[in-house]
Amino acid sequence: MIPLQEIQTDVLVIGAGISGLRAGLSARCAGASVLIVSKGAAASPGVIGFNAPVGPDDSVQSFFEDTFKGSIELANPALVRLLTENAAAAAVGMESLGLRLDRMRDGAWHLQKALGCSHPRLLHQENRTARVGMAALKRALAKGGAITRRDIFVVELLTTREGVMSGALAVDVRERKILFIRAGAVILASGGGGGIYAGGTYPKSLTGDGYALAFRAGAELVDMEFVQFEPCHCVYPKRLGLSTTLFAHGGRLVNARNERFVLKQYPAGEGAAPKDALARLVALEIRAGLGTEHGGVWCDLTDIPKKFITEGHSAYYRLFLKHGIDLTKQRFEVGPAAHTFLGGVAINTRCESTVPGLFAAGEVAGGVHGANRIGGNAGTEIHVFGAIAGANAAAHAKSRGARTLRDAARRAEKLAASLSAKGRSGRWNVFSKSIRELMTSKVGVARDEAELHEALGKLKKIGDEAAGVECENSLENFVGQIEIQNMARVGACVAEAALRRRESRGVHYRCDYPKRDDAHWKKNIYLRQIDGRMRVSSRKKGASA
């Protein structure tokens, strides 16, 4: 038996990346008591900057048009409107908390131009924007009296019999307790699912739990087929990130036959290809058997002026050198790496999901980016929608208060009584490795019908096997088992949506349907659990269920 702790709060925020911190602060400022819990690592510290239309010739309209066009016309226009209209205020808000965004001599903000943007609009504090911003948010939260707890793994969302979101069941992994949290409103800010792929850019612990939690609670998911890949990560001798901007300065990609395959579609060179196209071309070359020994293609930067690498990109230069690669002298193997999930929990302009009382913000939410994302917009999304979710969740919580949840309380008691604090952990990493390899090989950058069916069959098998493992009733096994089931569930959501979309659009490429098909597919794909089964449907954007 392990201890059970009951907690009551107005607003429970799941996730302590920027969207969670921003949501918590906004709810606290609206007078709600706030508890922010997080399981472990977040993607947010990696954010270099975020977009706001504050440049001299820029405008909200131009930002809107870039974002909507960038989404291949699949984003929810109402959400894009909110994103673009509130971005500048988000920047001002962060500065008032202590983030000092870089400015030029005349006092105007220093702006960079991110991929897909018609104007420079990426605000930043050197390349530490997120780290400094998160520290500022944490200070404000502590000062305001919000409670933040780490090493808390949320395993289930709790609804009343009428289906209203009312809290969560969680495991305090460090203090070895079960937490039964009753809340007037719950905000999912649990980030993406890059951790269900092998060799992605995300921390492995980001296994898409939020999608699985929301799905099991009956919330609708949208655009799950759109997973963005970074095109060129070093695959050997170690997985290392690389900036694609280097291709604009003379970087080249060649296949095992020494052919510059990108030139067939982009005669001006690799630097002219957008990220999604580059990822696709690299993946297709590897699929065609023209890859290198370790599953990549060759990347050659030796034509780039040496100083540009050793001084202009010194961090990359040093990192690669540490692993035995001199970027100025030798070529190395690169391949695509899973990055951002563009879809997620379907939300309205108040960040409400389809389950009353359940809000979502940040990468776990869907609808803002459609089929592709312009650079720097995830950074804006987490600030803008975090703030909106927090304010609306606080208002919702105040209007209804916390519920008793007798059934869930009994379940929590039973669970705490059945688990032991000690015991050996099962071999959950064997399951997670299989899922990651399967997702990368069958539900990766380029997919086809047969592969997606195969992936769905295998994911079900892995999920069922993990659920059926007989193991000691320890806390570790309980958490491990749920995490694997979440990974399998989220993988199935991506595969089901990818199977349904019989065209190629943005970051979703079907080898068997390689063309964009506006006549049939200018619409979004929605997933929902009904009577224990996944229901897949498609609707034109903006249409209600």
Ligand X SMILES: Cc1cc2nc3c(=O)[nH]c(=O)nc-3n(C[C@H](O)[C@H](O)[C@H](O)COP(=O)(O)OP(=O)(O)OC[C@H]3O[C@@H](n4cnc5c(N)ncnc54)[C@H](O)[C@@H]3O)c2cc1C
Residues of the shown chain interacting with ligand X in the complex, contacts defined by CB under 6 A? 14-20, 37-44, 46-50, 152-154, 189-191, 201-202, 206, 209-210, 340, 362-363, 376-379, 382
Which amino acid is it at 117? C
Residue closer to ligand X, measured from CB, 151 or 518: 151
> Based on CB atoms, which residue is closest to ligand X, 209 or 496?
209
Compare residues 40 and 271 and give the one whose CB is closer to ligand X: 40
92 Cβ contact list (under 8 Å, min separation 6): none
Distance CA 428, CA 525 (A): 31
Is the CB of 234 or the CB of 499 nearer to ligand X?
234
Residue with the closest Cβ to ligand X? 17
| Closer to ligand X by Cβ: residue 285 or 363 | 363
Of 24 and 184, CB closest to ligand X: 24
Quote the CA–CA distance of 338 and 94 in Å, as a whole number.
29
Identify the CA nearest to 253 among candidates 237, 233, 236: 233
Task: Kindly state the tokens that stand for 47.
Answer: 């954010």
CB atoms within 10 A of CB 319: 17
Residues contacting residue 97 through CB under 8 Å, at least 6 positions apart: 133, 136, 137, 139, 140
Q: Tell me the closest approach of the beta carbon of residue 490 to ligand X, in angstroms.
A: 11
Neighbours of 520 (CB within 10 A): 11
> What is the closest distance, in whole angstroms, from the C-beta atom of residue 495 to ligand X in the complex?
21
Q: How far is the CB of 496 from ligand X (least distance, A)?
A: 21
In whole angstroms, how close is the CB of 450 to ligand X at the nearest point? Answer: 31
Query: Rounded to the nearest whole angstrom, what is the least distance from the CB of residue 138 to ligand X in the complex?
Result: 12
Virtual torsion, Cα 203, 205, 208, 209, nearest 10 deg = -150
Tell me how far apart the alpha carbons of residues 343 and 220 are, in angstroms, rounded to a whole number: 11
169 close to 187: Cβ distance less than 8 angstroms: no
- Which C-beta is closer to ligand X: that of 186 or that of 281? 186
Nearest approach, Cβ of residue 188 and ligand X (Å): 9
Q: Which is nearer to ligand X, 291 or 357 (CB)?
A: 357
- Least Å distance, CB 517 to ligand X, is 28
Kindly state the smallest distance separating residue 310's Cβ from ligand X, in Å. Answer: 23
Please compute, for residue 56, the number of CA atoms within 13 A of its CA located in the half-sphere on the CB side.
4
Q: Is 49 in contact with 123 (CB distance < 8 Å)?
A: yes
Determine phi and psi for 236, rounding to 5 degrees.
Answer: -155, 140
- Please give the Cα distance from 317 to 214 (Å, whole number): 42
